[in-house]
Amino acid sequence: MDQFILFGDSITQQAFSQDTPPRHREPSGFFGPALADAYARKLDIINRGLSGYNTRQALQVLPQVVPTLQQARVRFLTIFFGANDARLPNTYPDPQQHVPLEEFRSNLKAIVSHPCLLEHKDIRIILITPPPVHERTALNADRIREPNREPVLRRTAAATATYAQAVRELGDEMNLPVLDLWSAMMDRAGYHDNGVDDRLVPGSVANADDHANAVLESFLHDGLHFTRAAYRVLYDGMMDLIQENWPDQTPDALPFVLPRWDDQEAWKEARGSVL
């Protein structure tokens, strides 16, 4: 079967997770299983989420992530980085993950134009913006994890917003569809501006809007990683994007790779041959 590769950091890696985050009732993993179920017997969903990776590392390992044409054909590739690139420089602990904004943009551009991708002539590349950050929840998670250390913000809502904007701009420049997850979550939090004012961005400690913060808290169990509700937003956004850009590639539009068990004509034609 052709492959649908999910390439990203820990948020992608955990897309199939059956762990239940603290204070939640159900496992977080929804996006991966839902996508695999939707494309069952049509495309293979391949999880290439690499926890902790930034775009500098992603670019380096890309040829090991994408199969050659002799190994498999890639139908879809999602590129979902930025949460680690946007980590503030010189923050605890080492090693540092921060990648400056312009290098982040350059790395993404190098990834989408890499020869190992261009080898797959009909590959459909989907850029995904980094999601918002919930600063209060991140600080609380650090207090629980390391009670003897004063927590310090490693990621901020405003800084991450600039990396999301860079993904949008690259999508426009290279004519690639962008799943704007940052805006999808912020819309649900009652925020409809792509600006980066700390006083206005939900999730910032400078923002006193508790209602908006509560919405993001329901998405980000440690201020960064997803709950089931957040993965559902990602899945719904992915299905809408595919329907809009490639309606012939939606799950309902694709045939089974192997015939149904009761397709008598198919089995009659296949008798004595390899399907």
Q: Where are the domains of the chain?
A: 3-270
Fold of 3-270: Rossmann fold (3.40.50)
Q: Give pTM, 2 decimals.
A: 0.93
Which residues are catalytic, by number?
10
- pLDDT recorded at residue 205: 80
Q: Of the given ranges (180-184, 186-190, 228-232), which has the lowest mean pLDDT?
A: 186-190
Query: Per-residue pLDDT for 192 more than 80?
Result: no
**pLDDT value for 66:** 98
Alpha-carbon distance of 215 to 218, in angstroms, equals 5
Query: Omega before 93 cis (within 30°)?
Result: yes
| Torsion-angle region of 211 (φ positive above 0: left; ψ -120 to 50: alpha; else: beta) | alpha
d(CA 59, CA 111): 6
Among the residue ranges 8-22, 151-165, 196-210, the one predicted with the least confidence is 196-210
More reliable by pLDDT, 197 or 22: 22
Confidence of residue 204 (pLDDT cuts 50, 70, 90): confident
Model confidence at 274: pLDDT above 60 = no
Question: Band of the pLDDT at 203, cuts 50, 70, 90?
Answer: confident
Residue 110 CA to residue 11 CA, distance in Å, equals 22
Mean pLDDT in the chain? Answer: 91
pLDDT digit string (tens) for 87-140?
A: 999 999 999 999 999 999 999 999 999 999 999 999 999 999 999 999 989 998
Q: Tokens 């993904």 map to which residue?
A: 167
Task: Map tokens 């426009």 to a residue.
Answer: 172
* pLDDT in the model for residue 273: 60
pLDDT digits (tens, 9 = 90+) for 35-51: 999 999 999 999 999 99
Write down the pLDDT at residue 225. 96
Does 200 score more than 70 pLDDT? no
Tokens of 221: 């169990």
Residue 195: is its pLDDT beyond 60? no
Please work out, in degrees rounded to the nearest 5, the angle formed at the alpha carbon of residue 29 by the alpha carbons of 28 and 35.
145
Write down the residue that tokens 């350059």 correspond to.
106
Residue-wise pLDDT for 205-264, tens only, equals 877 655 557 888 899 999 999 999 999 999 999 999 999 999 999 999 999 999 999 999
The Cα–Cα gap between 9 and 184 comes to 19
